[in-house]
Amino acid sequence: MAKKKNPEEGRQKVNNPNVMGLHAAVVAQPITDTLEVNYMPYAMSVIVSRAIPEIDGFKPSHRKLLYTMYKMGLLSGGRTKSANIVGQTMHLNPHGDAAIYDTMVRLSKGYGALLAPFVDSKGNFGKVYSRDMAWAASRYTEAKLSPICAELFRDIDADTVDFVDNYDNTTKEPALLPTSFPNVLVSENSGIAVGMASQTCGFNLGEVCDTTIAYLKNPACDLYETLLAPDFPTGGELLYDAKALREVYETGRGGIRVRAKYRYVKDQNLIEIYEIPYSTTTEAILDKVAELIKAGKLKEVSDMRDETDLSGLKLTIDLKRGVDPDKLMAKLFRATTLEDSFPCNFNILIAGSPRVMGIREILEEWTAWRTESVKRRVFFVLGKKKDKLHLLKGLKRILLDIDKAIRIIRETDEESEVIPNLMIGFGIDQIQAEYVAEIKLRNINKEFILKRVNETAALQDEIDDLQDILDKPQRVHRIIVDELTEVKRKYAEPRRTSILYEHQIEVIEVDEGPEDYPVSIFLSREGYFKKITPQSLRMSNEQKYKEGDALRQTFETTNNAEIMFFTDRAQVYKTRMNQFDDTKASVLGDYLPGKLGMDEGENVIFSVLPGDYSGGLLFFFENGKVARVDMTAYQTTSNRKKLTGAYSDKSPLVTLRRVDEDGELAMYSSEPRALIFHTALLTPKATRSTQGVQVMTLKKNRVLDHVVTLEETSILNFSRYRVRSIPAAGALVKEEDSEEQQITLGNLD
């Protein structure tokens, strides 16, 4: 038995000064400790300090940039070079100038990613709807804060939010911005953290203000009356789906479908697309249309080009004569991202913890946070008023005898004794005495003092009013409502994304593509593939192959069926029958490695019709293991043509079989031994690369040779080779059960 290693030995080696050489001994550390000590802090930092927005609607990078611009005086002043702003922001954000400038671009009016942009930009800031339109360098562009930023920083110096140290503890920055409107619902935001993500869509500012006001008045209000649907900066038409919208509003998750807007120019026989979904780009649309034209699926289009200029986005489609523009657009909506889904995942940091919330929950959190912010502001002002009243009460005492105050100051020998003597002489505290002592000589007259003292009554009324606000939540809500009303009046704009309700959506029948009809498939051992119609097969069914080649598989299916080709490189290629031309038995057919763009030296070994992706596949390996993989493991939501890691490559693959219903199979080894087992003994796996389980145990230098069904085998006595549990060695093949014996007997007949 091996001696158990003492973990202290490694440490002793590291600390032993007599150990020679440059490399110290490695101390083993459990992977769980590594994750907890090293990875978890990083993951939490990304979640809390980088990728997920907070209740003010900003990520830390946004907040640092905007606060720097505010401190630079860019709210009321003129623009300055973007490079200057980027440099100043690095006092708060240490991630580098490129990352900071990218953040500024996204917040800018020129880029157009936000319904209410916060950066008033000048110069080339690119466009959100273009993937390739690069923005100019920061030394060329200029920027300042947009007017709406006044609502982000309202009373920020009145203790409305907490301030924290920056990354090197040299200055302070706000933990949140005291936004006077729910920016978290107005500004679209997306971020990918570790193990989670966030994707919020924007809503119209006026609708958000109305909804928040309605919620403050009645938390059980109907949100759908005021918050109609999301609104996107790039416009488009939102396809109203009440069920999908309810899911987003209630759970914070779901999808919103948006399609492009277009107009038909009859005299030029062309279509102009002038608004596209927020989630796509002009380049992605053009690339997809070009792909469809190249594949022969878009014969109605003669040309498509990007004519975007200073007046705005415009994609132009030239039509062939006689083409119905509405039918063509309906076809493009289905085949391209001209109609796309915007995914929603309202994951927001609340008190440092990420939460996925619906609209009502977000409003509840925002109003609670804003209420606290307003109360802090009122309390701050109240404190200032109380301090001033306290000073005026001390000043009022001077009215009793101004001459006495002058005499006390004049007759005091030492300066340090002035304040104590005033305190004793008039019965006031130190703060009041300091205030009196600092009054200019010219102001020590009854008129000045009476004016100051007369403020006392008005000041006391203000203090009482402020205290009443703090004592009555309804009054705090009234202040928030008034601020929201003012924000709507100043900054609200009409919806950019129009809403298409169900009764307004015109259903247009579109040609679904290639005709579907029965076909027969022939796959040769060297990878030649033929698709033949029944009519052509009846005329001639004698298949032609290259010398040395032979049939591997044949089956019947339909022209639009999907097919998968497995190769000897553990890859699978997915396509449809209609991608192959109908052919005849007298030709070789399509060479699959060339047709499917396979890697050099890669060969097809098996084809499968996935159908509805029910059932599974059995992979038989030379080492006697069998992997059972669910067909759903090969189902993809996107139109991917190639999947790597189609099966395990730890042992050479002998064969694979489609399994729709469990049954018995016979496995033959090179010894030769045979084993009959039931496929129900194998548990299906969802992982394509599973190595499988040992079914047939093999002796050294022996491998699995082939696998057949019971109908295909030559065995006469099945019970000799049948097993009830796996793994098993099987039994030596008797002469009467061997395939060679059956062939000999057949020849004797």
Calculate the alpha carbon distances from 42 to 39, 48, 196, 609 in Å: 5, 10, 14, 45
| 407 vs 93: CA distance, rounded Å | 58
Classified as helix, coil or strand, 273 is strand
For residues 125 and 69, is the Cβ–Cβ distance under 8 A? no
- Rounded to 5 degrees, φ, ψ at 624 are 90, 0
β-strand partners of 306: 315
Cβ partners under 8 Å of residue 607, min gap 6 = 521, 523, 553, 563, 564, 565, 566
**CB 47: neighbour CB atoms within 10 A?**
21
Burial class of residue 436 in the structure, from the number of CB atoms within 10 Å of its CB (0-12 exposed, 13-18 middle, 19+ buried): buried
Calculate the alpha carbon distances from 561 to 295, 384, 531, 535 in Å: 18, 78, 12, 19
**CB 604: neighbour CB atoms within 10 A?**
24
- Rounded to 5 degrees, φ, ψ at 615 are 75, -160
Active site residue 140: yes
E strand or H helix at 12 = helix 7-15
E strand or H helix at 253 = strand 253-259
Cβ partners under 8 Å of residue 648, min gap 6 = 570, 619, 621, 627, 689, 690, 691, 692
For residues 357 and 346, is the Cβ–Cβ distance under 8 A? yes
Q: Which of 39, 42, 140, 613 is catalytic?
A: 140
User: How many residues in the chain?
Assistant: 749
The order of strands in the sheet holding 616-621 is: 653-659, 616-621, 625-630, 693-694
Question: DSSP assignment, residue 743?
Answer: H
Which among 350, 53, 366, 373 has a CA at the least distance from the CA of 181?
A: 366
Classified as helix, coil or strand, 571 is strand
- Where would I find the H helices in 154-204? 183-186
| 558 vs 165: CA distance, rounded Å | 68
CA 517 from chain centre, in angstroms, equals 41
Which among 55, 727, 110 has a CA at the least distance from the CA of 355?
A: 55
Question: DSSP assignment, residue 632?
Answer: G
Task: Write a three-state SS string for 712-733.
Answer: CCCCCCHHHHECCCCCECCEEC
Calculate the alpha carbon distances from 379 to 153, 364, 372, 747 in Å: 18, 22, 10, 107
Calculate the alpha carbon distances from 673 to 57, 653, 659, 670, 706 in Å: 69, 19, 24, 7, 11
Residues labelled catalytic: 140
